[in-house]
């Protein structure tokens, strides 16, 4: 990348981190579709996992008093198991069609919940386990599963701080697990060390700014922002893949 492109990449990453903190699922929901415009998909998977480890470490510190350990176990365990499976398949499957399907799914879910805010996902352990496993698999395969995990957490009616802290704890375990697989698969490249160093500082700064902005929001605003970010994430995935199909 040229210098100007590098700066644009870092700015986009910072915006993704701030908005990802506000939305509650981390930066990958926006970062993955955007990063696809800068580098190949396997490199995106690798650098996103590292970026998210930095990001979620920052959030765990900032929201350390807001963790629901029972939920972390119920959603986190299947997420970690299935992210390993998804990460293995990421080196073998053509992801274009899958990204399109995921994008359409996220847009439809967001619109549904925006139109019918009283609609809730059934709140039981079986549903949470299933959504946790699905979120992990999609994260390993496509680089972002936070929106699906957000649907599960939204069903529990968590406050904004508890939502973000719990999501960050689950995400940290998921990203650490898939980073190991990506490293073994050659997705995390030493040649990109400059970008990795930059993302370390972006994660800290973006998480802090996002937390400060979050303090000024009420719960209803937060819930709407969550759904809007899900829709944006889906839309970016569709736009990126549209060129491939057409």
Please give the sequence-ordered ranges of beta strands (E in DSSP) within the chain, or none if there are none: none
Separation of alpha carbons 160 and 214, rounded Å? 8
pLDDT at 245: 45
**pTM (global) more than 0.85:** no
137 within 8 A of 85, measured Cβ to Cβ: yes
Q: Can you give the C-alpha Rg of the chain in angstroms? A: 16
pLDDT at 57: 92
| Overall number of domains in the chain | 1
Q: What is the mean pLDDT of each run of 10 residues along the chain (246 residues)?
A: 79 87 73 78 85 90 88 90 85 69 79 73 78 86 75 76 88 87 84 88 92 81 75 77 54
pLDDT at 246: 43
How would DSSP label each residue in 53-81? Answer: HHHHHHHHHHTTT---HHHHHHHHHHHHH
pLDDT at 243: 56
Separation of alpha carbons 167 and 25, rounded Å? 6
46 within 8 A of 178, measured Cβ to Cβ: no
**C-alpha atoms less than 13 angstroms from C-alpha of 182 in its C-beta half-sphere:** 27
pLDDT at 91: 66
Q: What is the largest CA-CA distance in the chain?
A: 50
Residue numbers of the domain that contains 236 = 3-245
Please report the sign of the dihedral spanned by the C-alpha atoms of residue 175, residue 179, residue 182, residue 186. positive
């Amino acid at each position: 990348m040229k210098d100007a492109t590098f700066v644009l990449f870092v700015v986009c990453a910072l915006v993704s981190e701030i908005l990802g903190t506000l939305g509650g699922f981390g930066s990958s929901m926006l970062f993955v579709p955007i990063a696809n415009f800068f580098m190949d998909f396997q490199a995106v998977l690798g650098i996103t996992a590292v970026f998210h480890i930095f990001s979620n470490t920052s959030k765990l510190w900032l929201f350390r008093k807001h963790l629901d350990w029972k939920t972390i176990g119920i959603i986190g365990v299947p997420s970690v198991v299935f992210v390993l499976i998804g990460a293995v398949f990421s080196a073998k499957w053509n992801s274009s069609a899958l990204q399109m399907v995921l994008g359409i799914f996220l847009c439809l879910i967001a619109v549904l919940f925006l139109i019918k805010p009283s609609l809730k996902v059934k709140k039981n352990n079986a549903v949470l386990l299933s959504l946790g496993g699905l979120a992990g698999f999609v994260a390993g395969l496509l680089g972002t599963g936070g929106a699906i995990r957000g649907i599960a957490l939204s069903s529990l009616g968590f406050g904004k701080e508890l939502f973000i802290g719990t999501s960050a704890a689950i995400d940290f375990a998921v990203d650490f697990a898939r980073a190991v697989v990506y490293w073994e698969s050659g997705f995390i490249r030493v040649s990109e060390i400059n970008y990795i160093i930059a993302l370390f500082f972006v994660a800290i700064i973006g998480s802090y700014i996002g937390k400060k902005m979050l303090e000024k929001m009420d719960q209803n605003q937060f819930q709407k922002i969550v759904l809007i970010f899900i829709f944006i994430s889906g839309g970016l995935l569709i736009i990126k893949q549209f060129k491939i199909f057409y």
